[in-house]
Amino acid sequence: MYLKLAMGNVRRSVRDYSVYFATLALAACLLYSFIASGDYLLALDLTAEQRSVYGRIGSVLEAFSIFVVIVFIFLVAYANRFIVRRRKREFGLYALVGMGRGSIAAVLALEGGLVGAAALVVGIALGVVLSPAFGAVAAFVFDAPWTPHVAFLPGAAAWTTGSFAAIAGLGAV
């Protein structure tokens, strides 16, 4: 019952959730692209000196991706507050018909989960498509030959999914 209600609410509030969706999809795309860029760098024909520079850059990219996660936690928290404020009357109506606070929270969590899951899939797909652009930039920086190739990297997708779950969970709290 809650799932059906949540799906209907997402359809009705598509304008409100579009900002939330775009924020989450961008987060997933950037996270995937940062992590995948390491594998694209490894695929380049780099000299030993360039590989040592890459090793240092890899740790900087990981640290920067953690910074991106923290920024997106705050953006998701803001988006959640925006949605709750915007739909305050609707939640008041739910309370009037007898839904408890826990039930209302469950519906809101399901709505966020539905939008979040769709945003994760779209974000990773965009990341897969855009990651070669990061490889092109890296090839330019290292003055290495580059050929475009699109690849789905399961490790990057798993890291993105875990980070995404942390973003959604901490943002909701």
- What residue segments make up the domains of the chain, in order of their start? 2-172
- Measured in residues, the chain has a length of 173
* C-beta neighbour count of 89 within 10 angstroms: 8
Q: Band of the pLDDT at 122, cuts 50, 70, 90?
A: very high
pLDDT for the residue 158: 92
Q: Residue 37 corresponds to which tokens in the numbers above? A: 């860029």
Measured CA to CA, the distance from residue 132 to residue 40 in angstroms comes to 7
Nearest to 40 by CA among 143, 146, 122: 146
CA distances 32 to 57, 124, 128, Å, are 17, 6, 8
What is the reported pLDDT for 126?
94
pTM of the predicted structure, to 2 decimals: 0.80
- Which band of pLDDT confidence, cut at 50, 70 and 90, is reported for residue 173? low
Calculate what percentage of the chain has a pLDDT beyond 90: 9
